[in-house]
Amino acid sequence: MTESEHDIALEDTDRIQGHAALVNNVKAAVALAGAVRSTLGPLGLDKMLVEDGGDVLVTNDGVTVLETAKVDHPTARLLISASSLQDRSARDGTTTTILLTSELLQNSLELVRMGIHPSVILNGYNIALEESLVELKRISKKSELPESELAIVSTSLAGKVELGASKILTSCALEAASVLVGEEGGNDLERLRIKRLQVNNGGIKDSRLVHGLVLAKTRLDSSTPSFSKDGKIAIIDGEFESKKIELDASIEISDTGALKSFHDRNINKLQNVVEHIKSLGVNILIVRDGVAEEAVTPLKNAGIITYRRMERTDIELLSKITGAKPIRNPLKINDIDIGDYSKHSEELIAGVKYTTIEGKKGGGMTFIINGTTPEIRSEIKRVFDDALGVAHRLKRESWILPGGGASHTHLARHLRMYATSQSGREQLAIEAYAAALEIIPRVLAENSGIDPIDALLSLSAAQNNDPENGSWIGLDAKTGQNISMEIAGILDPLFVARHALSGATEAVNSVLRIDDVLWAKQDAQTPDWQNEIDED
Ligand code: ADP
Ligand code: MG
């Protein structure tokens, strides 16, 4: 394409190029970080999000704020995906990721203004990341004691729920994670194996972990047993019905005998299915869809306890924990498709009957979330997800770091020294990277009502004055003191810190590579701060 052809092709777009594009993108990132900044740390405040329809969501979770907010700016969306990725891979550290990204971008803008090319900045940032990851690993410690596991999980809940609730969520998360130790499955195993069931009964403190799958259901026939042990279970992945005659069908049934024989044939068919299932020794039958009226009595007479109308996720979990294979056609169920359960029971919670089935094959649990309002229950669910995610990953990778801004402050000090070993302009980028890391202790101080500059200076000095254990000294946001994070029990997992640094650096990489932003005119979304850019 020639230059003029290019211009024609771009006729329908607004265009921001070069320096202006970077300024624009950085502003979007800073605006976004501003939206979650005040939620960081144990004294971070909650955000109330009001959706179009008037639904209200109160949360302290950075990624939830961002995913709910309707953000149109492409850079902002890029950062939101960095934070969502952090959520998926580490379950925690989402606010940290956004703050780091925005700070790194802001510092790179300063460097660009000094005449340093973005590719040099990228280089320097990547060198700084590599060095940071090595240094983080070096100062990390292995968590072997149950107390440090408790401290890590409760640090991840700090500021999200009050202390009593935090204790329950922490111990349930650790208990659930320990059941899954040694089981095959990817990072998402904990989401798949632990059902979250919200129940309107009592306060947060009544939330509990149940071993087994809990269903908001009762058995099809109340004369079958509500409790049984060590039995066999089959799952029909469809319905247990016979073909019905459509009564408004156009065939005229003159002979009442014909209708009766049709019914009889159907009942016979159902009876055959029941006989088949009974012959397999099945005690509990799970049917994903409906069960024919005519099948209820034969099933009861065969001693089969039946449950119908199941959620797909419940079927999957039940299959995992009992080894039963969901089969569409009941007549095709074979011996090998039958699963084993250890206990089945029913209980009444807040006037609703619930059934629990415990399997013998794999760990499967239900976390029953109590809370007085739906908003509280959904926030508890989000908080528990974080705690469980951290607990689960911690069982696989148990290296820990000091929280309270200690590791970021240490890294900043380390990188400033390290930068001098680089002869090129990258040195400046590494220093900018170091300065960006200090956003974490600064915001932690800010959110605790402590002056961020004083806090940072005194924390750096405290670390510097203790050559041996300085890197573990951090800011206890609740007391304002610089103390050993190990003693204070403010601990972050290494994997959270590592993902946050890599994710933020990666997001910055992609923003810095952008040199040209084209806004399609038909869907013009040029941001409000366009005027500020023009003044720039
Ligand atoms: P994120 O979404 O990044 O996980 P959080 O709001 O959960 O954000 O805050 C996490 C940060 O808060 C971590 O850096 C952690 O070390 C810090 N933190 C937690 N408890 C304390 C505390 N008592 N004092 C200081 N920092 C704390
Ligand atoms: Mg957190």
In the structure encoding, which two tokens stand for residue 46, read together? 């909650």
The pTM assigned to this predicted structure is: 0.81
Atom of ligand 1 nearest to the CA of 478: 23
In the structure encoding, which two tokens stand for residue 426, read together? 């990258």
What is the band of 447 on the pLDDT scale with cuts at 50, 70, 90? very high
Q: Are 51 and 68 in contact (CB under 8 A)?
A: yes
pLDDT at 19: 73
- Domain 213-361 fold: GroEL (3.50.7)
Percent of the chain exceeding pLDDT 70 equals 84
State the distance from the centre of ligand 2 to the C-alpha of 94, rounded, in angstroms: 7
Q: Residue 477: pLDDT above 70?
A: yes
Q: Are 458 and 465 in contact (CB under 8 A)?
A: no
Q: Which protein residue has the closest C-alpha to ligand 1 atom 26?
A: 404
H or E stretch including 179? helix 163-180
pLDDT at 62: 65
Q: What is the DSSP letter of 200?
A: -
Residue ranges per domain, the chain? 10-142+401-520, 213-361
Query: What burial letters (b/e) apply to 383-394, b meaning 16+ CB within 10 Å?
Result: bbbbbbbbbbbb
Q: What is the mean pLDDT of the chain?
A: 85
* Cα distance between residue 439 and residue 36, in whole Å: 13
Following CA atoms 296, 297, 302, 307 in sequence, which dihedral angle do they give, to the nearest 10 degrees?
20
Pairing type for strands 305-308 and 213-215 reads: unpaired
Q: Could you write out the three-class secondary structure of 49-77?
A: EECCCCCEEEECCHHHHHHHCCCCCHHHH
Ligand 1 site-directed mutation target among 38, 490, 496, 499, most atoms within 8 Å of CB? 490
* Cα distance between residue 157 and residue 387, in whole Å: 7
pLDDT at 496: 93
State the distance from the centre of ligand 2 to the C-alpha of 93, rounded, in angstroms: 5
Residues with a catalytic annotation lie at 61, 94-95, 386
Atom of ligand 1 nearest to the CA of 61: 2
What is the band of 54 on the pLDDT scale with cuts at 50, 70, 90? low
Per-residue pLDDT tens for 324-369?
999 999 999 999 999 999 999 999 988 889 999 998 887 889 999 9
Distance spanning both ends of the chain, measured CA to CA: 32
pLDDT at 88: 83
Q: Are 288 and 315 in contact (CB under 8 A)?
A: yes
pLDDT at 11: 55
Ligand nearest to the CA of 385: 2
What is the band of 259 on the pLDDT scale with cuts at 50, 70, 90? low
State the distance from the centre of ligand 2 to the C-alpha of 286, rounded, in angstroms: 39
pLDDT at 369: 92
State the distance from the centre of ligand 1 to the C-alpha of 50, rounded, in angstroms: 25
Q: Are 198 and 381 in contact (CB under 8 A)?
A: yes
Pairing type for strands 365-370 and 194-199 reads: parallel
pLDDT at 17: 63
H or E stretch including 366? strand 365-370
Atom of ligand 1 nearest to the CA of 96: 3
Q: Residue 31: pLDDT above 60?
A: yes
Ligand nearest to the CA of 63: 1
User: Does residue 473 or residue 242 have the better pLDDT?
Assistant: 473
Ligand nearest to the CA of 60: 1
State the distance from the centre of ligand 1 to the C-alpha of 198, rounded, in angstroms: 27
Ligand 1 site-directed mutation target among 155, 163, 442, 498, most atoms within 8 Å of CB? 155
Per-residue pLDDT tens for 128-162?
999 999 999 999 999 878 888 899 999 988 888 88
| Mean pLDDT calculated for residue range 458-479 | 95
Look up tokens 């900043």; give the residue.
412
Per-residue pLDDT tens for 225-239?
999 999 999 999 999
Q: Residue 517: pLDDT above 50?
A: yes
Find the residues whose C-beta lies inside 6 A of ligand 1.
39-42, 44, 62, 92-96, 155, 158-159, 403-404, 440, 444, 475-478, 490, 492
Strand partners, 56: 50
Percent of the chain exceeding pLDDT 90 equals 53
Beta strands in 371-506, from DSSP E residues, in sequence order:
399-402, 473-476, 481-484, 491-493
- Domain 10-142+401-520 fold: GROEL; domain 1 (1.10.560)
